[in-house]
Amino acid sequence: MYDFYLPDVYPYLHKLPAALWVTIEISILATLLSSIMGVFLAIMRRSDSKVLRGVSTTYVEVIRNMPLVVLLYLIFLGLPAFGIVFSGYVSGLIALTLNSAAFMTEIFRAGLIAVPSGQFEAAQSQGMSRVTVYRYVILPQVLRTSYAPYGNQVIGVVMGSSIMMIATIEEVTAWMYNTGAVTYRYFEVFVVAGIVYLIVCQMANVARIMIGKALFKSAAAGGKW
């Protein structure tokens, strides 16, 4: 029977917080950037221009069907052929952002569809500008429908950030792999890394629920959103 021996891993635990921070930092950055991209692409999807709609649809379909790691290799190994060289960190961030943006677009688009188009017309007929309509009529409702799938996507970004190790970045998966390689304690490092990921994901879940409660209670009470 295998003899589970965690102490072999202890000397390497001090590197874990830094690795965890990389995972969290890149996830937050990619989430923020891809949310912004997603909002624009989702609005493009509803535009009157056929070209803009086509660009947005093509983007979503191509990126959604391409594995994240393929995108990363294209940016990290492929682009240098044209003299475009990004560091491992930036390559990973770009790949993660481009990938997540496609899913964000779908989430926001579903939120937009859920708002009846009559509301848009009604608000515009009141003389509101496009921006005002989006800000005060559409957005608060989209936020509400998109909120739960958005939370899932944030966790998806955390999962996706594990491919950063391919771009030679020291995050949690890389820590697990490297520590396993020197100690041969692959089972133990997996348990440690698994617990770390589990805690991060569950914390994101709890945060989602709590923020959701705060946000949407105030909406019911006539708050801003």
Partner 1 sequence: MILIEYGGALLRGLGITLWVSCLALILAAVVGALIGIARTSKFMSLRVAATAYTEFFRSLPTLVMLFFVFYGLTAAFNINLSPFVAATIALGLEGSALMSEVVRGGLQSVGKGQKEAALSSGMPVWQVELYVVWPQAIRVMLPPAVGVYVSTLKGSALASSIGFVELMQTGLLVRERVQNDYDGFTVLIAVAVIYTIVNYAISQAGAHIERKSNYAQ
* CA gap 57, 105 in Å, rounded: 9
202 binds partner 1 (CB under 8 A): yes
CA 189 to chain centre: 25
| Residue from the set 20, 22, 68, 96 that interacts with partner 1 by CB under 8 A | 68
The residues, any chain, with a CB within 8 Å of residue 177's CB and separated by 6 or more, are 165
54 binds partner 1 (CB under 8 A): no
**What mask, x for binding partner 1 by CB under 8 A, covers residues 2 to 41?**
x---------------------------------------
- Say which amino acid occupies 140: P
58 binds partner 1 (CB under 8 A): no
Inter-axis angle of helices 16-45 and 139-160, nearest 10: 140
| Residue from the set 24, 28, 79, 143 that interacts with partner 1 by CB under 8 A | 79
Tell me the closest approach of the beta carbon of residue 103 to partner 1, in angstroms.
11
Which position has the token pair 């790949």? 95
Total residues at the site for partner 1 (CB under 8 A)? 44
Asked if residue 102 lies in contact with residue 33, where contact means CB atoms within 8 angstroms, the answer is no
Quote the tokens at residue 89: 């960190």
**What mask, x for binding partner 1 by CB under 8 A, covers residues 148 to 187?**
-------x---xxxxx-xx------x--xx--x---xxxx
Quote the tokens at residue 143: 């936020």
Q: Which is nearer to partner 1, 136 or 184 (CB)?
A: 184
